[in-house]
Amino acid sequence: MDKELLEVQKYKKFISELGQETKKIISIEPSFIYKGKRIRLDFVSQSDKIFLEKIFKEIEDNKNDNINFDKLKDEAIKEYTTAQEIEKIQAKKYITVKEFTEIYNYSSDWQKNRRSRIHDHLPYQQTKNGGKITYVVSEIETWFQNNNSGR
C-alpha cells in the first residue's frame, strides 16, 4: 500500500475517533501546497471547508496567481460564525424582532406591517401594556410555509 494513502487513512481514523469537544481544543494543522505556497489550516472544520470552497472558486474564476488567502480565510470564518449564530437563535423557542431580522432578513417595518394585517397576520406575542414583541419560532415557520408571498 502507498505510504501516503496509509497516512491519510490513519489520519481519517484518528479524526473520526475524536469527540467534538476534543476537536475544539487540540491543535491539528493540516496543510497543502498551492503554486509553491504552503497553505495551513487551523483544523479541518466547517469554516475550513468554506475556506477551501472559496479558494477553489477563486482559482476557477480568476485563473491568476494573486489570490488573497488571508481575506478568503477571514470571509470563511465570518460566514461560519454567522451561520452558527443563526443556528443558535433558531434553536430558541422565542425570538425578538431583531433576531427575526437576522434570521429571515426582513426589517422591523416589514414585520410591523405583517403583524397589523387583518387576514394572515404574522403571529406574535406582546407583553402587557404594549411591551416587547416576541415570536414563537415554530409559529413563524408555519406562517412562512402557508404564505409563500412572505419569503
Cβ 37 vs Cβ 46: under 8 Å: no
Q: Where is pLDDT greater, at 51 or 151?
A: 51
Average pLDDT over residues 66-90: 79
Domain ranges of the chain: 28-87, 94-150
Write down the residue that cell numbers 500500500 correspond to: 1
State the pairing for strand pair 31-34/94-96. unpaired
Q: Where is pLDDT greater, at 118 or 3?
A: 118
- Which range scores top for mean pLDDT: 11-15, 61-65, 70-74? 70-74
State the Cα–Cα distance between residues 85 and 83, nearest whole angstrom: 5
Q: Is 80 exposed, middle or buried (0-12, 13-18, 19+ CB in 10 A)?
A: middle
Average pLDDT over residues 108-131: 90
Per-residue pLDDT tens over the stretch 95-108: 999 989 988 889 99
pLDDT attached to residue 46? 67
Q: Taking the alpha carbons of 62, 66, 71, 76 in that order, is the dihedral positive or negative?
A: positive
State the Cα–Cα distance between residues 55 and 32, nearest whole angstrom: 12
pLDDT classification of 81: cutoffs 50, 70, 90: confident
pLDDT attached to residue 123? 95
